[in-house]
Amino acid sequence: MKNDFGEEGMVLQRKINRTLEALFFWSKSKCKDLNELKVQLKIEILELQSKEAMGNDWPAQDLILLRSKIHELNVSLKRLSTWWNQRAKAWWLEEGDYNSSCFITLQRLEGMNRSCQLSGWLKILDNQKLNDEDIQVLSSNFLVMELKKSVFQQGNNRSASMDGLTSSFYKYYWDIVWKDLWNAVNSFFTNGCMRKEWKDTLIVLIANVNNPLFPSNYRPISYAR
C-alpha cells in the first residue's frame, strides 16, 4: 500500500485512479477468458447435441453433462453482458461532451433575457420560517453516518460518475473506502474548498422522441461528480 500525502481530496483522487487502472487490466483479462470459455462451451455443446441427434450410445451421463454445459454457457453469457453494460457506461462518459463554448454561449444568451424582480415578493409567515431547532440541525457538523446514508440511498449499478465508479462500488467496498471518502468530504466542509476536477460537468443530449431529427428533439442533462 502506497503512503499518500497531500490534501484529502487529492489523496482520494489518486487512489481512485489507481483502482480504475487495476480494474481496467483485470476486466480486460477477465473478458478475454470469458470469450474463450464461451467459444469452448459452444463447441462442446454442439458435439454433445450431434451425438444425441445420431442416437448412438447416448447415456444419461451425457444428458447431464449437456445440461451442465448449457447452464455454464448461460452464466458466462450473462457475465459478458454485465461486462459490456459496464463498458457501455464508461464509453458514454468518454464519448460525451464537456461544457463546450457553444453551450456556454447559449446559456449566457438565455441569461441575458432574464430579469430579476427585487420587490413584490410574497410575505413569509412565521410558521414558514426556520425555527431555532431547524437552524441548529442545519448548522451542526456533518457526520459519517450521514455520509453513509447518502451513499447507500443511491440506486445500485447506476451510470458511473465522472470518476468512473458507480455507487455500487462504494456500497460494496464501504468498509474499505469509507475513511478516504469521509476525509475528502469532511475536508470540504471544514475548509470550504473543493477540487476543481470535482466541479466538472458532463453535458449529454437525451432524445425526447424515438427518431430525433432536430435539436429540439433532445434535452440536455448535466452529469456532475
Strand partners, 203: 97, 222
Please report, for residues 32, 122, 126, 138, the alpha-carbon distance to residue 131 in angstroms, rounded to integers and kept in the order given. 60, 19, 9, 11
Of 22-26, 33-37, 96-100, 217-221, the poorest mean pLDDT is in 96-100
Amino acid identity at 211 = N
Q: Work out the number of other CB atoms within 10 angstroms of the CB of residue 8.
A: 20
Banded model confidence at residue 175, pLDDT cuts 50, 70, 90: very high
Asked whether residue 162 carries a pLDDT value surpassing 70, the answer given is no
String of b and e for 164-192 (b: at least 16 CB within 10 Å)? bbbbebbeeeeeebeebbbebbbbeeeee
**Angle at alpha carbon of residue 181, lines to 202 and 136, rounded to 5°:** 95
Q: Is the pLDDT of residue 95 over 50?
A: no
How many Å apart are CA 85 and CA 159, to the nearest integer?
10
pTM assigned to the model: 0.51
Give tens-digit pLDDT for 181-203. Answer: 899 888 888 888 877 777 777 67
| Sequence-distant (≥ 6) Cβ neighbours of residue 181 within 8 angstroms | 12, 147, 151, 170
Q: Give yes or no for residue 94 having a pLDDT over 50.
A: no
Which of 193, 149, 152 shows the shortest CA–CA distance to 169?
A: 152
Give rounded-to-5 percent helix, strand, coil for the chain. 65, 5, 30
Q: What is the mean pLDDT of the chain?
A: 76
pLDDT at 159: 54
Half-sphere exposure of 22 (CA within 13 A, CB side): 6
| Closest to 93 (Cα-Cα) out of 145, 28, 163, 151 | 163
The residues spanned by each domain of the chain are 8-97
Express each pLDDT in 116-132 by its tens digit: 667 777 788 878 888 88
Among residues of the chain, what percentage have pLDDT more than 90? 4
Query: Nearest 5 degrees, angle CA 39-CA 40-CA 46?
Result: 90
Residue pLDDT, tens place only, 45-74: 888 888 777 776 678 888 888 888 888 888
With beta carbons less than 8 A apart as the criterion, state whether 151 and 185 touch.
no
Share of the chain above pLDDT 70, in %: 71
- Over the stretch 133-154, which tens digit does the pLDDT of each residue have? 888 888 888 899 999 998 898 8
